[in-house]
Structure 1
Amino acid sequence: MSDTIEAKLADLGLTLPTPAAPVATYAPAVIAGNLLHISGQLPFDDGALMTGRVGEDRDLDYAAHAAQRCALMLIAQMKAALGDDLSRVVRIVKLGVFVNSAGSFTDQAKVANGASELMIAAFGDAGRHARSAVGVPVLPLGAVVEIDAIVQIG
């Protein structure tokens, strides 16, 4: 499955980034039983952090692209935590999507679709997940989106 997932991403013109190192005191991923919990991942595009506030200085398309970039980083963290073996992923259980957004912005769910659609494209039906999408006034380092995940593993 690992090669298949990366092949599906390649077909979309995407490659997995190097997993980001933590920016504070936490583990990027923790395995507890058959669940892999992945800490919040920030969006990087061409090595640069995607920053801003949706509905203020960033638009929906920018934020949805940032959510997709977070999803790629989540998959990279899965691969690292599972010894480069994405075939151990059974299901994407849940994504928690935090959107740095203006008080008047109410399309957090549409931003989150950038990540959700990528998980489904990469993992098929196993990529369909529960999800939260919430607006927040600020995120670490000024990121426009942050996403964490719970993944069932075998």
Structure 2
Amino acid sequence: MSRIEARLAELGITLPEAPAPAANYVPYVRSGQHLFVSGQISNGPEGLIVGKLGAGMDVVEGALAARFCGLALIAQAKAALGDLDRVKRVVKLVGFVNSTAEFTDQPKVVNGCSDLMVEVFGDAGRHARSAVSAASLPLGVAVEIEAIFEVE
């Protein structure tokens, strides 16, 4: 068992299947030492996590939705690389939060994904990041996050 697989087991985390693309794009592209993972939407064990932050959905629910995005990002990295130990670093996350114009806690929502990356990859999980508001997201989901990984 790889080091990262062992860490996931220690944390009690089971990765979902890497989601198939929903339109005319690929789930990831490797270019040199970087793996670019397309935006992953908030999809939990019970299905899509839909809602708008600031209008019936709170920061705790949004952070959980972002965590599920992070699990999908890691699942895509595993599908691309075969072995998560090949991830040298989480370079950058870009998080989109379906939120009202008045909602300003997008960073706290995207922390759900950021915290997961550090839990799983340790210091190599610390990354640059953007957390922005969106008036709406595909299928009405609460959060979508894309990632760039440095890989071997």
Q: TM-score, normalised by structure 2?
A: 0.96
Q: Note the 1:3-152 alignment, pairs <5 A.
A: 3-82=2-81, 84-152=82-150
Distance 1:113 1:10 in 2: 22
Distance 1:50 1:151 in 2: 25
8 Å Cα contact 2:73/2:147 also seen in 1: yes
Distance 1:44 1:13 in 2: 18
8 Å Cα contact 2:5/2:84 also seen in 1: no
What stretches of structure 2 of length at least 5 have no aligned partner? Answer: none
Secondary structure in structure 2 of the residue aligned to 1:39 = strand
Residue 87 of structure 1, CA deviation: 1.2
% of aligned pairs identical?
54
- The letter of the residue matching 2:30 is I
8 Å Cα contact 1:6/1:15 also seen in 2: no
Distance 1:64 1:71 in 2: 10
8 Å Cα contact 1:36/1:152 also seen in 2: yes
- The letter of the residue matching 1:143 is V
Secondary structure in structure 2 of the residue aligned to 1:10 = helix
Residue 136 of structure 1, CA deviation: 0.6
Q: 1:60-105, CA deviations, whole angstroms, 9 ceiling, x for partnerless residues? A: 11100010010000000000011x2111101000000000001111
Secondary structure in structure 2 of the residue aligned to 1:62 = helix
Residue 47 of structure 1, CA deviation: 4.3
- What is the aligned residue count? 152
Secondary structure in structure 2 of the residue aligned to 1:109 = helix
What stretches of structure 1 of length at least 5 have no aligned partner? Answer: none
